[in-house]
Amino acid sequence: MSSHVHTTYLSPPSISDSDIQAVTAALRSGWAAPVGPSIAEFEDLVCSQMGFRHGVALASGTSAIHLGLKFLGVQPGDIVITSTLTFAATAFPIMYLGAIPAFVDVDESWNMDVELLDSAIRALRRSGKTISAIIPVDLYGTPANYARLSEISKRHEIPLFADSAESLGSKLNNGNLSDYVSAAAVSFNGNKIITTSGGGMLLTDDVDFVERVKHWSTQSREPAPWYEHKEVGYNYRLSNILAALGSSQTSRLPEIVRKRRSIRDAYREAFLRIGAVEVQKDPEWGISNAWLSVALFDREAHTRIPTEVRLELASNGIEARPIWKPLHSQPVFSSSPAFLSGHADDIFGRGLCLPSGTDMSTDQIARVTRHVTSVLKRMDRS
Ligand SMILES: *Cc1c(COP(=O)(O)O)cnc(C)c1O
């Protein structure tokens, strides 16, 4: 039998006994529905973690982005600007509304390049387009440069809506995310830093925003004894059972962030000794939750290194993944405008997401670094 009986996954859920007790208690309460006391409790907890006044728990991060953009008034044919280096779920909701995503490249922080954003807005406006929102993304937990982004958003009078699906538990050095954006979307999908198996939340300081989204997410039911609807609705509310899991997971978030950051530090330290590979750093303006640790290989050394490392890890029962393929290269977005510097393509070519799960043991981390090191040594010789 091989030594790798258990696969080391990229970012599997971490479920504690207290999580199981919380779900059991919610089931016993009888509230097995998209209403119940655990939902408001979960919303309050996430709000206090993220520094927002109001939250609405939804079925996914994607649905939070969808209804968030709807509230911001995105119309068919409008442009919504986002980062090219992200998961497609950032941009799909733009398409749900019949609008057009426009992609802006990233800077050294791997997040939206602020200078490029400014020139993209000018160019799009010159060609007569209406830009109805900007969606910065906090890639792999690294907060975007919100202080600079909000300057630009104010100057051009375009609302900022944060895709913080990957950055629950990350912090800005100056102020809260709520100081800079109209709203933010977070995700509790199975591989995110905490999970409800599937779920998301829209966060905002604006009461009207949260009330509208809550209304739409529950099929736009009017307050009447019968089912009365004045508007199109969505079945996007989170289940009470999953909210109970979410509260329990959220109470563990500070400890989980500490663990994820320690995994990233361990990789960084191990790779420092061999050179030719860096690990994503915190930006000057904030602290990442280190949701995923991402290695960036020195491309000059060998263009095939990320692939070779990934295959070597896979053959040893360790899951690693290429980073998000930039959206400007995705067939589904081929007709979207893109403002590029080459940075996202470069990171895509050199990056690899390494196992970062909360429950990883020291031994598992050591096995990952050992395999990475051995591939680098082998390729150095070839
Ligand atoms: C996961 C993710 C989403 C979507 O969240 P779901 O809960 O999976 O719908 C959106 N944007 C980014 C950047 C993500 O990583």
Give tens-digit pLDDT for 179-208: 999 999 999 999 999 999 999 999 999 999
**Burial class of residue 3 (count of CB atoms within 10 Å of its CB; 0-12, 13-18, 19+):** exposed
* pLDDT value of position 40: 97
* pLDDT value of position 382: 64
Q: Ligand 1 centroid to 88 CA: how many Å?
A: 8
* Residue 21 to residue 349: CA distance in whole angstroms: 44
**Which atom of ligand 1 is found nearest the CA of 138?**
13
Pocket of ligand 1 (CB under 6 A): 60-62, 86-87, 89-90, 137, 163, 165-166, 187, 189, 200
Give tens-digit pLDDT for 167-178: 999 999 999 999
Q: Ligand 1 centroid to 55 CA: how many Å?
A: 17
Select from 46, 56, 82, 90 the residue to mutate for testing ligand 1; criterion: most ligand atoms less than 8 Å from CB.
90
* pLDDT value of position 79: 98
Structure tokens at 369: 């670094």
* Residue 380 to residue 382: CA distance in whole angstroms: 6
Query: What mean pLDDT, rounded, does the chain reach?
Result: 95
Minimum CA distance residue for ligand 1 atom 5 = 61
Q: List the one residue out of 125, 132, 77, 71 whose CA is nearest residue 100.
A: 77
Select from 46, 56, 85, 87 the residue to mutate for testing ligand 1; criterion: most ligand atoms less than 8 Å from CB.
87
The answer to which of 2-11, 88-97, 101-110, 243-252 has the lowest mean pLDDT is: 2-11
Mean pLDDT of 275-279: 87
Task: Give percent of the chain with pLDDT exceeding 70.
Answer: 97
CA distances for 82 relative to 87, 93, 346, angstroms: 11, 12, 18
How sure is the predictor about 274, in pLDDT bands with cuts at 50, 70 and 90?
A: confident
Mean pLDDT of 86-97: 98
* pLDDT value of position 2: 46
Mean pLDDT of 254-264: 98
**Which atom of ligand 1 is found nearest the CA of 137?**
13
Give tens-digit pLDDT for 302-331: 688 999 999 999 999 999 999 999 999 999
Q: List the one residue out of 179, 176, 189 whose CA is nearest residue 49.
A: 176
* pLDDT value of position 89: 98
Mean pLDDT of 358-371: 96
Q: Ligand 1 centroid to 377 CA: how many Å?
A: 36
Structure tokens at 131: 């830009």
Identify whether the C-beta of residue 187 lies closer than 8 Å to the C-beta of residue 61.
Answer: yes
Considering the entire predicted model, what is its pTM?
0.96
Q: List the one residue out of 255, 276, 367 whose CA is nearest residue 318.
A: 367
Q: Ligand 1 centroid to 163 CA: how many Å?
A: 8
Greater model confidence, 276 or 47? 47
* pLDDT value of position 378: 87
Mean pLDDT of 210-222: 98
Residue 213: pLDDT above 60? yes
* Residue 159 to residue 150: CA distance in whole angstroms: 9
How big is the chain, counted in residues?
Answer: 382
Other Cβ atoms within 10 Å of 275 Cβ, number: 11
* Residue 203 to residue 224: CA distance in whole angstroms: 27
Q: Ligand 1 centroid to 94 CA: how many Å?
A: 14
CA distances for 69 relative to 58, 157, 238, 247, 342, angstroms: 14, 15, 19, 26, 28
* pLDDT value of position 353: 98
Residue 229: pLDDT above 90? yes
- How many angstroms from the chain centroid is the CA of residue 202? 13
* pLDDT value of position 356: 97
- How many angstroms from the chain centroid is the CA of residue 334? 23
Query: Helix 362-381 to helix 253-274 angle, to the nearest 10 degrees?
Result: 30
How sure is the predictor about 267, in pLDDT bands with cuts at 50, 70 and 90?
A: very high
**Which atom of ligand 1 is found nearest the CA of 166?**
15
**Which atom of ligand 1 is found nearest the CA of 200?**
7
Q: Ligand 1 centroid to 139 CA: how many Å?
A: 11
Identify whether the C-beta of residue 155 lies closer than 8 Å to the C-beta of residue 180.
Answer: no
Identify whether the C-beta of residue 11 lies closer than 8 Å to the C-beta of residue 319.
Answer: no
**Which atom of ligand 1 is found nearest the CA of 189?**
7
Give tens-digit pLDDT for 131-176: 999 999 999 999 999 999 999 999 999 999 999 999 999 999 999 9
Helices marked H in the chain: 17-28, 37-50, 61-71, 92-96, 114-126, 146-156, 207-217, 240-251, 253-274, 305-314, 343-350, 362-381
* pLDDT value of position 1: 41
DSSP-derived pairing of the beta strands 183-187 and 200-204: antiparallel
Residue 276: pLDDT above 90? no
Q: List the one residue out of 151, 106, 162, 127 whose CA is nearest residue 339.
A: 106
Residue 381: pLDDT above 70? no
Greater model confidence, 3 or 346? 346
